[in-house]
Chains A and B, each alone.
Chain A
Amino acid sequence: MNFLVCLKQTFDTEEKLVLKNGVISDDGVEFVINPYDEYAVEEAIRLKELHGGEITVLTIGPDRAEQALRSALAMGADKAILVETDDLEEELDEHSISQLIYAVLQEQAITYDLILCGYMAVDGGSAQIGPRLAQLLQIPHVSTITKITLNEKDVTIEKDIEGDVEHIQTKLPLLVTTQQGLNEPRYPTIPGIMKAKRKPLSRFEVEDLPLNEDDFQSKTTQKEVFLPPKKTAGQLLTGSTEEQVASLVEKLYKEAKVL
């Protein structure tokens, strides 16, 4: 069974954002595998442990994204592909990224039974890449999965739908996007990290792919990035607990008018 995991390197979620010249600064920022993509890596490893096969991890991103791929290899993926986009970062949108993934799959004749992507990235948060890629590959997809069971070509899935759970039957080949609750990603072990250094990682430039610039040119453009107005601390209520509660209700009702 061949598993393909598409992942993105993102800021750690505990990072504060700083704007420099209208751009989000990555000075001194801690980078991680996008947490949703980490569920995808973990699930691929668990499925491989059950059914055998090979796991390829793939990312489109700057040079530093190799680190995220190495982490996935250290967790247990077998090989990695990096499409390097250092000069293009700002100009690529979801249309571009999905076209680039599609192109590298074609160029490398990568075969897959199951593709796993995080349901969304914690930075861009558009949740588009998985479904877009499935459409380009003309395969079905199921998003926000919290459980998956494979039996030959048959797939049974539990999917989170705004708090409720939907049970789904489908078949491979398939793309799934992974939701929180699917699994608890493992930490790489020291031997895992050592091994990962020797696992194959192929690098591509955008020019290496069978694409014209028109094919992956962004369909959307950024005008401005801004930080929301800073919240300032409000009032700490005083008095006995009873008095504080009474005062809170009064304020919510008359001052904030949210009741």
Chain B
Amino acid sequence: MGKKVLVFADRRDGDLRQVTLESLAAARLIAEGEKVVVAVLGTNAQKEVDILTAYGADHILLMEEDYLDTYTTDAYVLAWQHVIDLVQPDCILTGHTTVGKDVAPRIAAHYGLGLISDCTSIDLENHEIIYTRPIYAGKAFIKKVIPSGVQFATIRPNNISLSPPDASRSATTEKISFQMKDDLLRTLVTQVVKKATSGIDLSEARIVVSGGRGVKSEEGFKPLQELADVLGAAVGASRGACDAGYCDYALQIGQTGKVVTPDLYIACGISGAIQHVAGMSSSKVIVAINKDPDAPIFQISDYGIVGDLFEVVPLLTKELKKLLPSS
């Protein structure tokens, strides 16, 4: 009852994202001995072959077309269709990332498939694939199945454990070319403006340092950024901080905004409104720093410091600097 699984690799700025390896772990489980095929789109894909093989790919398709280096919906939808028609998979997996979220629903509509988005775990019960995903931003979870036909899911970064890499594995590779007529591409990317403060994406970050109304100003985020730099963390914010104009909405964590599940979440000057907690309560370890000892955030945090974040955060940065090798 094995299933042929097709994984679409996720890349950002030409680099493979960790969620692809997580998808591969799920793929190996589902495949039950059948083939796992990985498709890599964009130039310079050859460099990913070794790592994909070690993490479980049996066959790797390289579609090294330069028009796939910048993501556009139409090009990717057509390229995916080409790959899917070629591979005829029983199951399709990819990351629940900017690209995955954008292409997968169109592909599902094109083939009339069910699609289970944003899975935090994938399990097998009597050869049936059980998909678990958060609803209400993690206030609840739902288990779903696709009773018949092609299985199709996107995977939330940071949730499925990797299987250990096996350098002795081998895989076949195949280059496929795919010509695209320009008139099929209906949207044109004219410019990309880098705004993210660090290269670390919030949804994939292992550590998140987050600020709320208590940060008081745009300037107030500076000490948080310094702490984040020492930890190799991403900076996030609560709706309160975003609404007050202290930071960009792109940083917002909560039921509106991003849902994050890092190993460590450091909440600074965040009271812990229900809508914020929904977006971060699945973090493995939560630290709260807040002046108000009655702040609800302490009810869900593992470690709490009652105090002024402008005193605590710089001290914490200093302590950690001693401990961690500077990177």
Are B149 and A219 touching (Cβ within 8 A)?
Answer: yes
Minimum CB–CB distance for B206 against chain A, Å: 8
Chain A residue at minimum C-beta to C-beta distance from B138: A228
Are A222 and B144 touching (Cβ within 8 A)?
Answer: yes
Are A223 and B144 touching (Cβ within 8 A)?
Answer: yes
Given contacts A220-B116, A256-B285, contact A167 B189 (CB under 8 A): yes
Cross-interface CB contact of A252 among B202, B254, B303, cutoff 8 Å: B303
Assess whether A194 is interfacial by the CB under 8 Å rule: no
Chain B residue at minimum C-beta to C-beta distance from A226: B141
Cross-interface CB contact of B135 among A140, A225, A237, A253, cutoff 8 Å: A225
Are B143 and A224 touching (Cβ within 8 A)?
Answer: yes
Interface residues of B in 241-261 (CB under 8 A from A): 242, 248-252, 254-257, 259
* The stretch of B61-69, B98-106, B218-226 that contacts the partner chain: B98-106
Cross-interface CB contact of B139 among A16, A126, A221, cutoff 8 Å: A16
Question: Contact flags (1/0) for B90-113 with A, using CB distance below 8 Å?
Answer: 000000011001111110111011
Are A237 and B188 touching (Cβ within 8 A)?
Answer: no
Assess whether A85 is interfacial by the CB under 8 Å rule: no
Are B114 and A244 touching (Cβ within 8 A)?
Answer: no
Assess whether A152 is interfacial by the CB under 8 Å rule: no
Minimum CB–CB distance for A26 against chain B, Å: 12
Question: Contact flags (1/0) for B104-141 with A, using CB distance below 8 Å?
Answer: 11101110111111100000000000100111111111
Minimum CB–CB distance for A110 against chain B, Å: 19
Chain A residue at minimum C-beta to C-beta distance from B262: A258
Are A180 and B257 touching (Cβ within 8 A)?
Answer: yes
Are B303 and A223 touching (Cβ within 8 A)?
Answer: no
The listed residue with most A CB atoms (<10 A of its CB), out of B97, B191, B248, B256, is B256
Given contacts A249-B320, A252-B303, contact A163 B143 (CB under 8 A): no
Minimum CB–CB distance for A95 against chain B, Å: 6
Are A17 and B140 touching (Cβ within 8 A)?
Answer: yes
Assess whether B147 is interfacial by the CB under 8 Å rule: yes
Are A166 and B189 touching (Cβ within 8 A)?
Answer: yes
Are A127 and B274 touching (Cβ within 8 A)?
Answer: no
Assess whether B287 is interfacial by the CB under 8 Å rule: yes
Assess whether B194 is interfacial by the CB under 8 Å rule: yes
* The stretch of A67-75, A129-137, A195-203 that contacts the partner chain: A129-137
CB neighbours (8 Å) of B134 from chain A are 125
Cross-interface CB contact of A237 among B73, B104, B141, B304, cutoff 8 Å: B304
CB neighbours (8 Å) of B103 from chain A are 131
Question: Contact flags (1/0) for A28-47 with B, using CB distance below 8 Å?
Answer: 00000001100000000000
Assess whether B312 is interfacial by the CB under 8 Å rule: yes
CB neighbours (8 Å) of B264 from chain A are 252, 256, 258-259
Assess whether B15 is interfacial by the CB under 8 Å rule: no
Given contacts A162-B201, A219-B113, contact A180 B274 (CB under 8 A): no
Given contacts A94-B105, A259-B324, contact A168 B188 (CB under 8 A): yes
Cα separation A231 to B286 with both chains bound (whole Å): 10
Question: Contact flags (1/0) for A146-176 with B, using CB distance below 8 Å?
Answer: 1000000000000011111111111100000
CB neighbours (8 Å) of B130 from chain A are 223
Are B316 and A249 touching (Cβ within 8 A)?
Answer: yes
Are B102 and A180 touching (Cβ within 8 A)?
Answer: no
Chain B residue at minimum C-beta to C-beta distance from A181: B249
Report A's interface with B, CB cutoff 8 A. 11, 13-17, 19, 24, 35-36, 93-95, 98, 122-136, 140-144, 146, 160-171, 179-181, 218-228, 231, 233-237, 241-242, 244-246, 248-249, 251-253, 256, 258-259
Q: List 15 A-B contacts (CB under 8 A).
A: A11-B136, A24-B140, A126-B115, A130-B105, A131-B102, A132-B106, A162-B196, A163-B250, A168-B188, A235-B302, A241-B312, A248-B287, A252-B303, A253-B323, A256-B285
Report B's interface with A, CB cutoff 8 A. 12, 73-74, 77, 97-98, 101-106, 108-110, 112-118, 130, 133-147, 149, 186-196, 201-203, 207, 231, 242, 248-252, 254-257, 259, 263-264, 273-275, 278, 281-282, 284-287, 293, 298-307, 311-312, 315-316, 319-320, 323-324
